Amino acid sequence: MNYETAIQSIALCKDYKNTKALRDINLEVRKGEIFGLLGHNGAGKTTFLKILVGLTYPSSGEIKIFGEKINFKSRRYFGFLPERVSIPSFLTPLEFLKYSYRLHDFVPKKIYPEIEETLIKVGLENFKKEKVAGFSKGMLQRLGLAQCLLGSPSILLLDEPGSGLDPEGLISFRNIILEENQKRQATIFLNSHRLLEMEKICHRIGILQRGNLVAVGSIEELTKEKNQIHIKLESINQNILELLKKISQHFYFINETEIVLEPRDSTVVREIPKLLIEEGGNILFYSKKKESLEEIFLRITRGEND
């Protein structure tokens, strides 16, 4: 093991009255990585985060932070962006962040420069003295992120960070998360059902299904090569078309010169470039198709995990 573990859950279970929200979760999040927990609504993602920050307790099992069983002091490691950001409507961003900062264990004397910097980072500097009562969902989300970043915590816990954000907001959140990770090696743990967002930034992902952790790994590790080939040719003549019909089970055109084909017989795969060239084809691109995160997620959560 050549990495340090930031978060470790051991046989973690959480039962609500009639619901097994988490079942026997064994998960390690490495220091300095961006880890994403994926799952449908109700899969147990928020419950996992709530246990981490001490908003609820496990029914059995435990969680360790940097090797230490969680306790009330563990909160010093965390910045937390909850699923629904809720801020008293009479406060301004400046007041809210000052108030939040005072709740920290250790409050540096000069908190103002950091608060100002954070407001600039999340794009709220022009609204810092306006009451949050009139804020949009996206602006509240930005203020929630600002609170989460205060004090540069070692671990950022983000519950559905993209919710309520427009495309520009999503890009700026993504850049902030990447910067925190790359510049100061913050560990990022985020929950989401937005697959595209996760695919762009996560080093590793876990998939939760009805309280069970059904897969963990990097996207490369979870990807299966599909039995499909993507080919781009300079042009496609009649002979090539005949060849494609002969060698493929199915094929379809992406445009006039690009095709995706599923070979009739896997032994022919290695021969395809040679056969195309023999028919006068000039190959510009040739690649085996890989699954997208969406395809991985659907395959695993449908139980077709062969």
Ligand X SMILES: Nc1ncnc2c1ncn2[C@@H]1O[C@H](COP(=O)(O)OP(=O)(O)O)[C@@H](O)[C@H]1O
Q: Is 19 in the site for ligand X (CB under 6 A)?
A: yes
Residue 152 contacts which entry, ligand X, Mg ion, none (Cβ below 5-8 A, type-dependent): none
Selected from 8, 9, 46, 74, the binder of ligand X by CB under 6 A is: 46
CB-nearer residue toward Mg ion: 46 or 154 = 46
Does residue 39 interact with ligand X by CB under 6 A?
yes
The yes or no reply on residue 213 touching ligand X (CB under 6 A) is no
Q: Which stretch binds ligand X (CB under 6 A): 45-53, 59-67, 112-120, 179-187?
A: 45-53
**CA-CA distance, 199 to 209, in Å (whole number)?**
18
The strand pair at 258-263 and 225-233 is best described as: antiparallel
C-alpha triplet 4, 26, 14: angle, nearest 5°: 125
Q: Does 121 engage in binding with ligand X (CB under 6 A)? A: no
Binding positions for Mg ion, 32-71, rule CB under 5 A: 45-46
Minimum Å distance from CB 51 to Mg ion? 13
Backbone angles phi, psi at 215, to 5 degrees: -160, 145
The closest alpha carbon to 272, from 242, 231, 236, belongs to 231
Binding region for ligand X (CB under 6 A) out of 27-35, 36-44, 138-146, 165-173: 36-44
Quote the DSSP letter at residue 186.
Answer: -
Does 280 contact ligand X by CB under 6 A?
no
Which among Mg ion, ligand X, none contacts residue 39 (Cβ within 5 to 8 A by kind)? ligand X
Q: Is 82 in the site for ligand X (CB under 6 A)?
A: no
Residue 192 interacting with Mg ion (CB under 5 A): no
Contact 305, 299 (CB under 8 A): yes
From the list 15-23, 221-229, 255-263, 289-297, the region that binds ligand X by CB under 6 A is 15-23
Shortest Å distance, C-beta 33 to ligand X: 21
Q: How far is the CB of 24 from ligand X (least distance, A)?
A: 15
123: left (phi over 0), alpha (psi -120 to 50) or beta: left
H/E/C letters for each residue in 261-276? EEECCHHHHHHHHHHH
Beta strands at 155-159 and 187-192: parallel, antiparallel or unpaired: parallel
45 part of the interface to ligand X, by CB under 6 A: yes
Residue 13 · residue 24 · CB < 8 Å: yes
Half-sphere CA count of 28, side-chain side, radius 13 A: 8
In single-letter form, the type of residue at position 177 comes to I
Instruction: Name the segment binding ligand X (CB under 6 A); options: 41-49, 117-125, 147-155, 173-181.
Output: 41-49
Is 157 a binder of ligand X (CB under 6 A)? no
Strand, helix or coil for residue 293: helix
Residue nearest to Mg ion (CB): 46
Give dist(CA 235, CA 15) in Å, integer: 60
**Applying CB under 6 A, which residues contact ligand X?**
16, 19, 21, 39, 41-47
